[in-house]
Amino acid sequence: MYDFGLVGLGVMGRNFILNVADNGFTAFGNDLDAEKVNALIEEGGDKAKVNATSDVKTFVDGLSTPRKIMLLVPAGKIVDSVIEGLLPHLDKGDIIIDGGNSFFTDTDRREAYLKDKGINFFGAGVSGGAEGARKGPSIMPGGSRDAYQHVKPVFEAVSAKYKGEPCVAYLGPKSAGNYVKMVHNGIEYGLMQLTSEIYDLLKKAGGLSNEELHQTFAEWNQGRLQSFLVEITSEIFEQKDDLTDNDLVDMILDKAKQKGTGKWTSQNAMDLGIPVPTIDVAVSMREISALKEERIQADELYDRPTPAAVDKEEFVSKAEQALYFAFIITYAQGMHQLADASKEYGYELELGEIAKIWRAGCIIRAALLADITEAYQADEALRNLLLSPSFVEKVKDTVDAARELVGYGAANGIPLPGISNALTYFDAYTSSRLPLNLIQAQRDYFGSHTYERLDREGIFHTEWENK
Ligand code: 6PG
C-alpha cells in the first residue's frame, strides 16, 4: 500500500511525486496517458517506493486509508471529471487535495459536494513552478482542519524550508487555500509588472546593456530586494539566443499571456471593495501588451519624447529604491485583500502565517517577507502594512525615488503604470482628506444620493440652489 496518491503526471505532478518519494513516503501516481505513467516508473527507479498506473481502480486500491490523493491537473472541468472518476472507488474519510490554481468558488462547491459523500476535500495552492514541486514548493492548504492532520506529515516533509521551518501551514476552512494562492498570484503579477517597468527605465533612460542589467539585478538580489523574481531577472539578461547571435530577452515577443489568477484577484478585490491598483494595472498591462498590432499602428501616429540624459549611477540607485517601495506597496495591497476576504468568507486567516510560508519555495518569496511576517506577528490585527511602525521608515526612505522616476517616466514617455499606481495608492491611502467630498456633492446634486458631514452625524441632502 502506498502512502500518497497523485493524479496528473505532467511536469508538476511527476516532480511533486518524486519529491514525496525522496522524503521517505511511498507514492502512487495515476494518469490516463500511459507514456507519462511509464516515464514516472522509469524515473522513480524502485517501484516499491514510487509507482504509477493508468487504471483508476488499481490506483485507488493501492493506497493506504484514509487515502490521500492529490490532483495536479489543469484547473476547470478536468478537476470535476477526475473527481467523478475517483468517487466510485473511494471510502468515507478519504481525502482529495486539489493542488491546481482552481477558482475558489469551485473549491467551495466541490468541498460541499464531497462532504455529503463523506470525502474530505482540500484546495491547496502549490507555488514554485516545476523546480519548486521537485525540490520544495510553498503549499497553501485549506479545508477541514481534522483531515489536514493526515496530510500534514507529507506536506511538511516535501515543502520548501525557510531556516528549517516548513513553508506550509493549515490556512483555514473551505477554499482558504485556493484564495490565498490566488492573491499570491495577484502579487506575483504586480511584482513582475514592476520589474518590467524598471527594466524599461534602466534600458531606455539609463542606457544599460543586458550585461549591465544582469549585474544590476544580481547586485540588488544581494540586498533588501533579494527575491526569486529579481534573481531570475538577473539570469534572464545573461541568456543567449540559440537561433540568432542576440540575447534571448531581445528576441521575445512583448505580448504577455495569462491564465487568469491575476485577473481573478483583481475582480474579487473589486467585489470586496478593497483597492489593489498595482495588481489591477498589472493585469491591464498584459491586456495592452496583447494588442501588439494596434500598438504598432498607434506608435506611427504619435511622437514620443527622446528620454532625457540621466546620471547612470544615480538613476540605478533611484530605480532600486523605487522598486523596493513599489514591492512593499504590492504586498501591502495583497495582504489587505486577504484580511478582508478572511472576514467576508470566514477563512480565519492568520496573515503572519501566510507571510511565513511565502518566505521560501514560492514565486513571490523575498527577503521582504521576513519583515512582513514580523509585522503581522507583532500585530495580527494590522489593517495594512503601511500602518506597521516597522514599515514606516522603509517607505519614507524610498518613496521620493518613486516620485522622481514616475515624474521622469511621464515627462519622457516611458509607461510606468505599476510604479505610479503604487505611488498614487500610497499618496491616497496616507491622505487624511481626499477630494471625494466633491464626488459626494455631485452625487447629491444630480441624484439626491445624500451625503454625510464632517461636523455632525446623520445623512444629509441639499436642495442645490442653482439646479
Ligand atoms: C506559481 C505560479 C503558477 C502560475 C504561473 C502562470 O506560484 O508557481 O503562480 O501557479 O500558474 O505563474 O501564471 P500566468 O500564466 O497567469 O502568468
Domain regions of the chain by residue span: 4-174, 181-429, 437-467
Q: Which residues of 248-263 are buried (b: 16+ CB within 10 A; e: fewer)?
A: bbeeeeeebeeeebbb
Contact yes or no for 172/142 (Cβ under 8 A): yes
CATH number of this structure's domain 4-174: 3.40.50.720
Say how far apart CA 398 and CA 57 lie, in whole Å: 59
The pLDDT of residue 345:
98
Ligand 1 in reach of 129 Cβ (< 6 A): yes
Could you tell me the CA-to-CA distances from 182 to 185, 204, 418 in Å, in that order?
A: 5, 33, 19
The pLDDT of residue 44:
92
> What is the 57 CA–ligand 1 centroid distance (Å)?
32
The pLDDT of residue 467:
81
Q: Is 111 labeled as catalytic in the residue annotation?
A: no
Q: 343: which 3 cell numbers? A: 472576514
* Fold that domain 181-429 belongs to in CATH: N-(1-d-carboxylethyl)-l-norvaline Dehydrogenase; domain 2 (1.10.1040)
Q: Where are the alpha helices (DSSP H) in 221-367?
A: 228-236, 248-251, 261-272, 277-290, 292-301, 312-345, 351-357
Closest CA to 416 of 200, 135, 144: 200
Give the active site residue among 36, 181, 203, 263.
Answer: 181
Pocket probe mutation, ligand 1, options 135, 227, 261, max atoms within 8 Å of Cβ: 261
The pLDDT of residue 22:
96
Ligand 1 in reach of 259 Cβ (< 6 A): yes
**Given the DSSP bridges, would you call strands 27-30 and 4-7 parallel, antiparallel or unpaired?**
parallel
**Is 150 annotated in some ligand binding site?**
no
Pocket probe mutation, ligand 1, options 185, 232, 263, 363, max atoms within 8 Å of Cβ: 185
415 preceded by cis ω (within 30°)? no
The pLDDT of residue 419:
98
> What is the 339 CA–ligand 1 centroid distance (Å)?
22
Q: Counting atoms of ligand 1 from 1, which one is nearest the CA of 261?
A: 16
Q: 161: which 3 cell numbers? A: 524550508
| DSSP one-letter string for 359-425 | SSSSTT-BTHHHHHHHHHHH-TT-S-GGG-HHHHHHHHHHHHHHHHHHHHHHHHT---HHHHHHHHH
**Is 189 annotated in some ligand binding site?**
yes
Could you tell me the CA-to-CA distances from 167 to 137, 163, 353, 361, 362 in Å, in that order?
A: 7, 10, 9, 7, 9
Say how far apart CA 280 and CA 285 lie, in whole Å: 9
Q: Which residues of 210-233 are buried (b: 16+ CB within 10 A; e: fewer)?
A: bebbbbbbbebbeebbebbbbbeb
Could you tell me the CA-to-CA distances from 420 to 239, 322, 326, 376, 425 in Å, in that order?
A: 30, 10, 9, 26, 8
**Is 286 annotated in some ligand binding site?**
yes
Closest CA to 326 of 274, 378, 282: 282
> What is the 13 CA–ligand 1 centroid distance (Å)?
15
Q: Whose CA is nearest to atom 14 of ligand 1?
A: 258
> What is the 66 CA–ligand 1 centroid distance (Å)?
31
SS3 259: coil
Asked if the ipTM is above 0.90, the reply is yes
Ligand 1 in reach of 362 Cβ (< 6 A): yes
Q: Whose CA is nearest to atom 10 of ligand 1?
A: 127
Say how far apart CA 242 and CA 294 lie, in whole Å: 30
Q: Whose CA is nearest to atom 7 of ligand 1?
A: 127
Of the CA atoms within 13 Å of residue 392, those in its CB half-sphere come to 5
Backbone angles phi, psi at 458, to 5 degrees: 120, 175
Q: Whose CA is nearest to atom 9 of ligand 1?
A: 185
**Is 185 annotated in some ligand binding site?**
yes
Ligand 1 in reach of 128 Cβ (< 6 A): yes
Give the active site residue among 36, 68, 174, 188.
Answer: 188
Q: Pick one of 1.20.5.320, 1.10.357.10, 3.30.420.40, 1.10.287.610 as the CATH number of 437-467.
A: 1.20.5.320
pLDDT in tens, the chain (467 residues): 999 999 999 999 999 999 999 999 999 999 999 999 999 999 999 999 999 999 999 999 999 999 999 999 999 999 999 999 999 999 999 999 999 999 999 999 999 999 999 999 999 999 999 999 999 999 999 999 999 999 999 999 999 999 999 999 999 999 999 999 999 999 999 999 999 999 999 999 999 999 999 999 999 999 999 999 999 999 999 999 999 999 999 999 999 999 999 999 999 999 999 999 999 999 999 999 999 999 999 999 999 999 999 999 999 999 999 999 999 999 999 999 999 999 999 999 999 999 999 999 999 999 999 999 999 999 999 999 999 999 999 999 999 999 999 999 999 999 999 999 999 999 999 999 999 999 999 999 999 999 999 999 999 999 999 88
Ligand 1 in reach of 258 Cβ (< 6 A): yes
Q: Is 181 labeled as catalytic in the residue annotation?
A: yes
